[in-house]
Amino acid sequence: MCLINSLWTDVPNHPQAFLMMHTGEFRFARPSMGAWSLYGLGTQNQNLPGFVTINPPNNLGGSQNYSSGFLPAIYQGTAIGREGQKIADTRIGNITSKHLPGSLQREQLDLVQSLNRDLLGRQQVNAEIEGVIESYELAFRMQDALPQALDLTKESKDTLDSYGIGGGPTDNFGRQCLMARRLAESGVRFIEVTHANWDQHNGLKNNLTNNCKAIDQPLGALLADLESRDMLKDTLVMWGGEFGRTPHVKQKDGRDHNGTAYSMWMAGGGVKGGLRYGASDEFGIKAVENKVHPHDMHATILHLLGLDHEKLTYRYGGRDYKLTGVGGARVIDDIIA
């Protein structure tokens, strides 16, 4: 595992920082990191989405955080569940039909798609129609593959226990982590899991303790599981948020937002293990050594995925865009094995 202690971001406000973390931009809607990754790498399984986000938040930019933006709609993320929902109760809607056999569904879909393509042909650009066409086709192919990939009953009791599944504070996030492993095993390129409620302006001691109890065991189990299956060396795992917290505590036992110093960890996927990179000042309020901007993190992630952030571009509105913007992002070479 590599711990990066010197991250900083532009705006210490949740929606803007959340978008910055996911898309590299907080002012305008842009393609998400998952969409850029899928655009660069392509998919490994035509019957599953290449980019999945589990229990994403409804606010903080909402679906823009897993949107394809101006990239073709095929690269957008597929959401499973939503923030605050128990993932065990999540059902993937509109995947199967109780009323039509597969052959008739195919005929029905072909008719609808022909109408959609006819409408698209009369318009120069319409990302919404493109998205509908792509999502209908993918949904038809997903009818068998996705339920199987998310079926945790196929796992052994030992595996379920290791993730903390079966009750208690680890159950919900443990299910997300195990689903992520199963999706990765099935060829899904980019997967995001979510654990909310870290904005602790008060009640820090109890809330932080409860959050750590919920995530610690599942994350450890995920890394161990990937390693035991010889997947970790080819799977990049990272954990973190959109910014940090102040080192000083308020009267109500809470900490405020801090965009000038925060941490993330990375493991597997070509990252050096047993390394701590960068540092904040003596008070923990500002990154001072080997500072890392979200664009630097994005450049490094793309590099570890085998992509050059300078060359992974898409022409839109008369110019070439890239995930890392125009400010001279750098790959963090020191953390690469």
Q: What pLDDT, on the 0 to 100 scale, is given for residue 143? A: 78
Q: 24-28 contacts: CB < 8 A, separation 24 or more?
A: 24/294, 24/295, 24/298, 24/323, 24/324, 24/325, 25/325
Q: What pLDDT, on the 0 to 100 scale, is given for residue 94? A: 62
Cα–Cα distance, 48 to 145 (Å, whole number): 7
Q: Which helix (H) or strand (E) holds 117?
A: helix 102-121
pTM of the model: 0.89
Query: Could you tell me the two tokens for 216?
Result: 């610690």
Q: What pLDDT, on the 0 to 100 scale, is given for residue 97? A: 67
Strands 314-316 and 319-321: antiparallel
pLDDT of 177 > 90? The answer is yes
Q: What pLDDT, on the 0 to 100 scale, is given for residue 124? A: 67
Query: Could you tell me the two tokens for 283?
Result: 């008070």
Judge whether 14 and 60 are in contact, CB under 8 Å. Answer: yes
Domains and CATH numbers, the chain: 2-92+150-335 (3.40.720)
Quote the DSSP letter at residue 133: H
**Mean pLDDT over residues 54-71, rounded?**
92
Output the average pLDDT for the chain: 92
**Mean pLDDT over residues 54-76, rounded?**
91
Cα–Cα distance, 14 to 298 (Å, whole number): 19
Angle at 305 between CA 6 and CA 187, to 5 degrees: 125
Judge whether 217 and 250 are in contact, CB under 8 Å. Answer: no
AA identity, residue 326: V
Q: Which helix (H) or strand (E) holds 175?
A: helix 171-185
Q: What pLDDT, on the 0 to 100 scale, is given for residue 284? A: 95
Query: Could you tell me the two tokens for 27?
Result: 């002012």
**Mean pLDDT over residues 264-292, rounded?**
97
Q: What pLDDT, on the 0 to 100 scale, is given for residue 84? A: 78
Q: What is the pLDDT of residues 86-131, one digit of tens each?
A: 888 876 666 666 777 767 777 877 888 788 788 888 876 677 777 7
Q: What is the pLDDT of residues 11-39, one digit of tens each?
A: 999 999 999 999 999 988 899 999 999 99
Sign of CA dihedral 123, 126, 131, 134: positive
pLDDT of 222 > 90? The answer is yes
Q: What pLDDT, on the 0 to 100 scale, is given for residue 96? A: 64
